[in-house]
């Protein structure tokens, strides 16, 4: 069942149930009020009859019969019942169905009620004990068929039926309009999604002149999702293209030296040594590139987080670099309690990337500092190299992006190190920034929140 049909069916059924409940309540309330009014009127008539009898104690049976006929209800009858159950008189109208009221028993208790006759019509019945002209106590039963009330209730029933049917018409129309209003944006969204899937497009939904309701938010979210998917798809294409390009060059170099060795390697020892060194160097370059791409994928997975002493970790990493490189590395920190919440291996990788980056792109000393300010810890690496132009600084954290491509190739750079460092930093709720001026060097700052 389509959603449009469900909306129309639900709204119509809901209104139908509501109409039935309201009309039924009004119907029975009106009936009870009208029936009570009929009983009150019949009670007054019975009281008047008994008062007349009391005022004329010497009345004969013939005169009493005439009196009973005078007080006879328009659509009913009067019974006078003795103690032994026999009837003194039972005058009624000509219509036989007025006698459909069941036989009454002798009683000395006054009562009034509504009963149903054999013909299905309701009857108002008043029962009263009175002193008859013979001095004995008899029971007078006065009944009246509620003909007018029956006709009124039938007319009211048909009025409710017709009114309910008329009320359902605009409800059905309103349900159709509402379903169209709700479903048009959804159908447009479905059509756009199918079109994007079928034709590999990045089409978005036009949000001009739209009310700011939940449907607008849904379409806006869809457009944002399309932008996000397109951006990531383009980045993926760029990543694959750049990775292919980066791997293609060393592979071609390896293949060229292998072909050269095949042709002239046996007769030229110097060429053999040069070719082996080049092949080994390019193999290392490919290995490093593949490892860094794997790290990018691995770092997207959730890592175990615990408290890490960033001061101790930084000192250990700097000691490793001092032993491996003949460079001046200066380190200072302004506090001892430098704990952060994170993964030790990943944070070590970020520190390694920043220091290695400074060593590659500068030949002078390198200053490393670690400080605690309020609720943040700042790790800074300052080099005195060529620096980075301002227009390039926003892109250096992109994958495979290199400021000086020729120099990066000479130093073995792939353009993935800072991208890896930035991803790890974001996963640790931190921030990685750069400050640089051409000819004055660069300062990379890693900000991480203090462990709570």
Residue 235 resides in a domain? yes
Cα 105 from chain centroid (whole Å): 69
| Residue 192 forms part of a structural domain | no
Tell me whether strands 366-373 and 329-333 are parallel, antiparallel or unpaired: parallel
Look at residue 184 and tell me if it is in a domain. Answer: no
pLDDT score, position 9? 80
Question: For residue 445, which of 434, 314, 418 has the smallest C-alpha distance?
Answer: 434
> Of 122, 112, 119, nearest to 142 (Cα)?
112
**For the stretch 327-352, what's the b/e string if a residue is b when 16 or more beta carbons lie within 10 angstroms of its beta carbon?**
eebebebeeeebbbebbbebbbbbbe
- CA–CA dist 16, 319 (Å, integer): 82
Choosing from 282, 298, 314, the residue where a domain stops is 298
Sorted by sequence, the CB contacts under 8 Å of residue 75 that are 6+ apart come out as 93, 98, 144, 145, 146, 147
Concatenating the DSSP letter of every residue in 224-257 gives: HHHHHHHHHHHHHHHHHHHHHHHHHHHHHHHHHH
In this structure, are 350 and 433 located in the same domain? yes
Q: Is 181 inside a domain boundary?
A: no
The number of folded domains in the chain is: 3
- The domain boundary, picked from 153, 188, 214, lies at 153
Domain boundary, last residue among 298, 326, 356: 298
Give the per-residue pLDDT at 220.
81
Residue 143 is part of which domain span? 3-153
Asked if the structure places residue 334 within a domain, the reply is yes
pLDDT digits (tens, 9 = 90+) for 270-323: 777 777 877 887 787 678 767 766 766 665 555 678 899 999 999 988 888 887
Same domain, 20 and 136: yes
Who's near 412: CB < 8 A, 6+ residues apart? 284, 285, 288, 360
Q: Are residues 322 and 265 in the same domain?
A: no
Is position 146 within any domain? Answer: yes
Q: Measured at the alpha carbon of residue 91, what is the angle toward residues 88 and 93, in degrees to the nearest 5? A: 165
Query: Per residue, what are the HEC states of 50-88?
Result: HHHHHHCCCCCHHHHHHHHHHCCCCCEEEEEECCCCCEE
In a domain? residue 174: no
CATH for 258: 1.10.287.130
Structure tokens belonging to residue 125: 């019945």
- Count the neighbouring beta carbons within 10 Å of the beta carbon of residue 321: 18
Q: What is the CATH number of the domain that holds 312?
A: 3.30.565.10
Q: Can you read off the two tokens belonging to residue 402?
A: 């290199």
pLDDT for 94: 47
Query: In terms of domains, do 142 and 227 share one?
Result: no
Q: Kindly provide the residue ranges of all beta strands, DSSP E only, lying in 267-393, ordered along the sequence.
A: 306-309, 329-333, 339-342, 366-373, 376-383
Q: Same domain for 147 and 42?
A: yes
Do 115 and 227 lie in a common domain? Answer: no
Residues whose CB is less than 8 angstroms from the CB of residue 224 and which lie 6 or more positions away in sequence, other chains included: none
Pick out the chain residues at pLDDT < 70: 1-3, 90-103, 117-119, 238-239, 241-243, 245-246, 249, 265-266, 285, 289, 292-293, 295-303, 399-415
Examine the domain organization and report whether 348 and 239 are in the same domain. Answer: no
- Note whether 331 and 258 are same-domain residues: no
Q: Say yes or no: 36 and 60 in one domain.
A: yes
User: What is the pLDDT, as a whole number, of residue 445?
Assistant: 94
CA gap 141, 442 in Å, rounded: 114
The token duo for 112 is: 């009034």
Residues 102 and 140 in one domain: yes
Q: Does residue 225 share a domain with residue 290? A: yes
CATH number at residue 24: 3.30.450.20
pLDDT at 407: 42
SS3 191: helix
In a domain, 196, yes or no: no
Number of Cβ atoms within 10 Å of the Cβ of 202:
12
Q: Are residues 50 and 133 in the same domain?
A: yes
């Amino acid at each position: 069942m389509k959603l449009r049909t469900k909306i129309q069916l639900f709204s119509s059924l809901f209104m139908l149930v509501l109409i039935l409940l309201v009309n039924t309540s009004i119907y029975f309330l009106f009936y009870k009020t009208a029936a009570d009014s009929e009983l009150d009127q019949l009670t007054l008539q019975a009281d008047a009859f008994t008062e007349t009898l009391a005022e004329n104690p010497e009345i004969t049976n013939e005169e009493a019969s005439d009196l009973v006929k005078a007080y006879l209800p328009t659509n009913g009858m009067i019974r006078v019942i003795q103690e032994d159950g026999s009837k003194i008189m039972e005058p009624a109208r000509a219509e036989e169905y007025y006698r459909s009221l069941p036989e009454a028993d002798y009683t000395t208790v006054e009562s009034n009620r509504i009963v149903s006759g054999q013909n299905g019509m309701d009857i108002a019945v008043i029962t009263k004990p009175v002193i008859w002209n013979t001095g004995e106590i008899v029971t007078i039963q006065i009944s009246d068929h509620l003909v007018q009330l029956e006709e009124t209730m039938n007319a009211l029933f048909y009025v409710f039926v017709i009114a309910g049917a008329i009320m359902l018409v605009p409800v059905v129309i309103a349900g159709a309009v509402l379903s169209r209003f709700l479903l048009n944006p959804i159908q447009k969204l479905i059509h756009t999604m199918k079109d994007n899937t079928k034709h590999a497009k990045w089409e978005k939904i036009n949000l001009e002149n739209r009310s700011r309701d939940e449907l607008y938010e849904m379409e806006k979210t869809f457009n944002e999702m399309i932008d996000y998917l397109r951006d990531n798809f383009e980045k993926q294409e760029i990543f694959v293209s750049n990775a292919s390009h980066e791997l293609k060059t060393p592979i071609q170099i390896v293949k060229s030296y292998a072909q050269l060795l095949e042709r002239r390697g046996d007769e030229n020892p110097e060429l053999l040594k040069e070719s082996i060194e080049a092949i080994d160097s390019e193999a290392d370059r490919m290995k490093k590139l593949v490892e860094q791409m794997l790290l990018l994928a691995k770092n997207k997975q959730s890592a175990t987080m615990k408290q890490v002493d960033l001061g101790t970790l930084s000192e250990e990493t700097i000691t490793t670099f001092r032993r491996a490189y003949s460079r001046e590395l200066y380190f200072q920190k302004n506090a001892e309690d430098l704990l952060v919440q994170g993964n030790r291996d990943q944070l070590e990788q970020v520190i390694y990337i920043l220091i290695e980056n400074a060593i590659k792109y500068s030949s002078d000393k390198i200053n490393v500092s670690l400080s605690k300010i309020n609720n943040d810890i700042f790790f800074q690496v300052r080099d005195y190299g060529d620096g980075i132009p301002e227009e390039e600084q926003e892109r250096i954290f992109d994958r495979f992006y290199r400021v000086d491509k020729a120099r990066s190739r000479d130093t073995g750079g792939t353009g993935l190190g800072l991208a890896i460092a930035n991803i790890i930093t974001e996963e640790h709720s931190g921030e990685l920034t750069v400050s640089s001026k051409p000819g004055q060097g660069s300062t990379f700052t890693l900000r991480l929140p203090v462990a709570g």
